[in-house]
Amino acid sequence: MKSSIRVASAPAKVILFGEHFVVYGAPALLAAINRHTTARAKTISQERTIIKSDIGASAEYSDSGCKIVRGGKGAKEILDPVYDAIKRTTEAHGKKTGLRVELRSKIPHGIGLGSSAASCVATVGAVDSLFGSHSKNWICDRAIESERIVHKNSSGADCYISTFGGIMRYSMNEGYRKIEAKKRLHLVVSSTGIRHSTGDLVEQVRKFREANPSRFNELSKQAHNICTNALEAIELGQIENLGRLMSQNHLLLNQIGVSHEKTEALVKLNLGDGALGAKITGAGGGGAVIALASSRKEGARVVASAKKAGYSAMLVEIDHEGLTS
């Protein structure tokens, strides 16, 4: 069989509103952003799976186990879900063949931008198109299963937004709803440089809630209101209002203890540079901060200042396509 190469690309995500509170039933707003992971897949004659990446992790999987080629123990956490995605997709097509998948990523890892989800979505997408072509829903379902190999209690929201793109409202009870933004959103994503463990932070919040039930309940109500108002602001193109709501959401996250002194410094810096609002995005405890700028030019200014202060920062826009292959 002559082997062709199939390529699929999937975007990163940010949580615009509602992280942590979403775990207890409040809504969250998520958006896909224009930073992607691309997977290139081809069948090979050897009976093994070779995964290469440009993020410092490479490995070979065969019946005798996993041989890490690059990246040490940390590589397994990155590559095991990708291997699972390859295996799951190949088996779903009833095939048994060696495969080589190469990942190229522009998504910083471990700071809550959904890099693992994007790798899984792109991998299922690329491998699927080697043997046929299923719907995005089919691809998303498999990617979610694979991502759960490392993120055991994942809601699946990262894979969902990466597969379908755009902006979504998500809640546990009501599922996903697409939101149309009236105006373009210019977002600055900066990193504190501190990697976080989502599981640990979710556990920390669980303890906070257990110790302060009525306070948490009150903060959760506020988060719900902020999210509802933010959705309206996005739909009506009220950018300044949206920025204010982001900063209000950040205060709630600070109060439940998931901020960090570097996060606070970064939020302050972004706001001092003219951002309309700034907040933690994702689990916190370091990780990433998003800020809303009034224009591309203003956003570039916020990025330049954050970089000058030693942070990594990028100006991003919403990705409306999600998975492409």
Q: Which of 37, 119, 198, 204 binds ligand PMV (CB under 6 A)?
A: 198
Q: Which of 155, 241, 294, 324 binds ligand PMV (CB under 6 A)?
A: 155
Minimum separation from the CB atom of position 144 to ligand PMV (A): 12
202 lines the binding site for ligand PMV (CB under 6 A): yes
Q: How many residues bind ligand PMV (CB under 6 A)?
A: 12
209 lines the binding site for ligand PMV (CB under 6 A): no
- Residues 42-81: x where in contact with ligand PMV by CB under 6 A, - otherwise, as a string: ----------------------------------------
d(CA 19, CA 74): 26
Minimum separation from the CB atom of position 5 to ligand PMV (A): 31
Q: Which amino acid is at 22?
A: V
d(CA 120, CA 112): 15
How far is it between the farthest Cα atoms of the chain?
64
- Told to judge if 158 belongs to the known catalytic residues of this protein, a careful annotator would answer yes
Closer CB to ligand PMV, 13 or 88, in the complex: 13
Cβ neighbors of 205 (< 8 A, separation 6 or more) are 20, 23, 256, 257, 258
For ligand PMV, which stretch binds (CB under 6 A), given 18-26, 173-181, 185-193, 266-274? 18-26
Closer CB to ligand PMV, 43 or 191, in the complex: 191
Catalytic residue among 84, 128, 141, 158: 158
d(CA 294, CA 299): 7
Please report the DSSP string for 105-133 in residue order. Answer: E-S-SSSSS-HHHHHHHHHHHHHHHHH--
Q: Within 279-298, which residues bind ligand PMV (CB under 6 A)?
A: 282-283, 287
Please report the DSSP string for 132-157 in residue order. Answer: ----HHHHHHHHHHHHTTTSTT--SH
Q: Which amino acid is at 127?
A: V
Give the residue among 104, 285, 269 at the shortest CA–CA distance from 188: 269
Q: Which of 16, 22, 181, 315 binds ligand PMV (CB under 6 A)?
A: 22
Q: Which amino acid is at 285?
A: G
Closer CB to ligand PMV, 27 or 112, in the complex: 112
Q: Which of 9, 19, 100, 279 binds ligand PMV (CB under 6 A)?
A: 19
Minimum separation from the CB atom of position 240 to ligand PMV (A): 26
Decide: residue 258, CB within 10 A, 0-12 exposed, 13-18 middle, 19+ buried. buried
150 lines the binding site for ligand PMV (CB under 6 A): no
23 lines the binding site for ligand PMV (CB under 6 A): yes
Which structure tokens are listed for 212?
A: 């302060």
Minimum separation from the CB atom of position 177 to ligand PMV (A): 17
Q: What angle do helix axes 157-164 and 136-147 make, rounded to 10 degrees?
A: 150
Minimum separation from the CB atom of position 32 to ligand PMV (A): 13
Strands 49-53 and 98-105: parallel
Q: By the 8 A CB rule, do 266 and 209 touch?
A: no
Q: Within 101-120, which residues bind ligand PMV (CB under 6 A)?
A: 112
Q: By the 8 A CB rule, do 100 and 42 touch?
A: yes
172 lines the binding site for ligand PMV (CB under 6 A): no
Q: Which of 20, 35, 224, 279 binds ligand PMV (CB under 6 A)?
A: 20
Give the residue among 269, 264, 276, 268 at the shortest CA–CA distance from 186: 276
Residues designated catalytic: 158
Q: Which residues bind ligand PMV (CB under 6 A)?
A: 15, 19-20, 22-23, 112, 155, 198, 202, 282-283, 287
